[in-house]
Amino acid sequence: MKIASLEDDEAHAAIMSRVLHEAGYECATFSTGRALNRRLREEKFDMLIVDWELPDTSGRDFILWFRTHFGHDIPVLFVTARNMEEDIISGLSAGADDYLTKPIRTNEFVARVRALLRRAYPSAAEDSLIEVGPYRVDVPQKTIHVHEEPITLTPREFDLARLLFQNLGRLLPRDLLMQAVWGRGAEIASRTLDTHLSRVRTKLKLRPENGVQLVPVYSRGYRLEPVAARDGAAVAVAGDV
């Protein structure tokens, strides 16, 4: 899932981005309301995380604007150093769904994010059991079955497969995949990711006849696309690259 973080403190933005990536989410960071405003007109995010003190606006005013133009379907988490009761009430009244004070505690932060996403997207957020065609991904047990046959994967191969199935149809950037599986700052060659994904494709038989295909997007990342059969031919639901 894609999360937009509106935070002008570079250090704090980096911490939140790292934590979200390690939790399996895609995070784009913006330092001004104007920058996020422009991106929202071009791209859809599944969740917003907003600071209060910003260079060109206040987080509260930004949320008011966002709710006016985009409605209330997308969850918003306020993360700010303000911890007075009146600030919390003001932030929630502006349209935030939850309020967290800095400095964040990483486990609590991830738990709040997951809770908001589960509430907003009950069928898509962090499913413990993911079923796509002949595939059954059991996240807690870290197992994958294809046509009821268990597939042996290494821990990293499973983590890559889990991310792909949890984000079916979404482009997953290369850096997100590497950070989520190997950790932020890990020095791995780009071909290492490609090699692991090639093994995942082979072991799981990610082929159109099984209803999915793993598509590399040159220099950007990978996308697991659902494929529908039509007149004996496989057709990518999400479109060709």
Render pLDDT for 158-197 as a digit per residue (tens, 0 to 9). Answer: 999 998 998 888 888 888 888 778 875 566 777 899 999 9
Task: Report pLDDT for 30.
Answer: 96
Is residue 232 scored above 80 in pLDDT? no
Residue 127 — very low, low, confident or very high, per pLDDT cuts 50/70/90? low
Average pLDDT (104-133) is 80
Is residue 107 scored above 90 in pLDDT? no
Average pLDDT (198-212) is 95
Average pLDDT (79-105) is 90
Delimit the domains of the chain by residue range.
2-120, 129-236
**Long-range Cβ contact pairs of 32-37 (< 8 A, separation 24 or more):** 32/8, 32/56, 32/57, 33/6, 33/57, 33/61, 33/62, 33/65, 36/4, 36/6, 36/62, 37/65
- On whether the CB atoms of residues 50 and 61 are closer than 8 A, the answer is no
The fold adopted by the segment(s) 2-120 is Rossmann fold (3.40.50)
- On whether the CB atoms of residues 121 and 3 are closer than 8 A, the answer is no
* CATH class of the structural domain 129-236: mainly alpha
Task: Report pLDDT for 142.
Answer: 86
Task: Report pLDDT for 184.
Answer: 59
Angle of helix 174-182 versus helix 190-204 axis, rounded to 10: 80
Query: Which candidate, 237, 193, 240, 234, places its Cα nearest to that of 217?
Result: 240
Is residue 84 scored above 60 in pLDDT? yes
Which two tokens mark 109? 């932060």
Strands 76-80 and 47-50: parallel
